[in-house]
């Protein structure tokens, strides 16, 4: 069974994952609106992934006989100065998420909660990937600058992203 402290921290993370989903949906809508359908698609996949992350935490709380408590989702930005700015914000936010996952892991260690440690390991690896992807796109966008054809190709590349159910959820299927 989950300790109260672990349960509260995991519920806060459920809220943070839904907030992330909402942020990326907002980015997707923004880029759809200004004519970058590939980037909009990339953020739409990101929106789905964040909902999956919330579901992994929800399933874990339920499996451990805890109580899921859904809380209000704070507002998110609705426009960005540039494509580069949106990805810089993505990286800045994903670094915050990494810190949150690390804090959850510390709580799981302090509570001797081995099952939560095991579940959180997937998120530790996932955050490395999330930050690396955002960093790669920032590097590419800095090289492209205001070059119209470069931005057109960047949009095309992001249109190719495919959605895959995260491993912790596909294992449960």
Q: Is 60 in the site for ligand FEO (CB under 6 A)?
A: no
CB of 17 to ligand FEO, least distance (A): 5
Q: Is 25 in the site for ligand FEO (CB under 6 A)?
A: no
On whether the CB atoms of residues 134 and 39 are closer than 8 A, the answer is: no
How far apart CA 52 and CA 128 sit, in angstroms, is 17
Nearer to ligand FEO by Cβ, of 71 and 156: the residue is 71
In angstroms, the Cα distances linking 16 to 96, 125, 164 are: 10, 18, 21
On whether the CB atoms of residues 57 and 20 are closer than 8 A, the answer is: no
Q: Is 116 in the site for ligand FEO (CB under 6 A)?
A: no
Q: Is 50 in the site for ligand FEO (CB under 6 A)?
A: yes
Among 2, 9, 11, 17, the residue binding ligand FEO under the rule CB under 6 A is 17
Among 7, 88, 94, 155, the residue binding ligand FEO under the rule CB under 6 A is 94
DSSP H helical segments within the chain, as ranges?
A: 4-33, 37-63, 83-110, 114-144, 148-159, 167-170
Nearer to ligand FEO by Cβ, of 17 and 155: the residue is 17
Q: Is 13 in the site for ligand FEO (CB under 6 A)?
A: no
What is the token pair recorded at 164? 């895959």
Residues that bind ligand FEO (CB under 6 A): 17, 20, 50, 53, 94, 97, 130
């Amino acid at each position: 069974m989950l300790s109260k402290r672990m349960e509260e921290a995991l519920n806060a993370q459920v809220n943070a994952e839904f907030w992330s989903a909402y942020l990326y949906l907002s980015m997707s809508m923004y880029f759809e609106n200004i004519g970058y359908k590939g980037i909009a698609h990339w953020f739409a996949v990101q929106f789905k992934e964040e909902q999956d992350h919330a579901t992994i935490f929800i399933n874990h709380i339920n499996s451990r006989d805890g109580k899921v408590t859904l809380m209000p989702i704070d507002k998110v930005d609705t426009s960005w100065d540039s494509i580069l700015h949106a990805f810089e914000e993505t990286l800045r936010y994903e670094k915050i998420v990494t810190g949150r996952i690390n804090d959850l892991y510390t709580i799981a260690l302090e509570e001797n909660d081995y099952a939560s440690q095991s579940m959180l390991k997937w998120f530790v690896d996932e955050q490395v990937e999330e930050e690396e992807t955002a960093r790669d796109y920032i590097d590419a966008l800095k090289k492209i600058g205001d070059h119209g054809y470069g931005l057109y190709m960047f949009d095309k590349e992001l249109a190719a992203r495919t959605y895959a159910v995260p491993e912790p959820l596909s294992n449960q299927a």
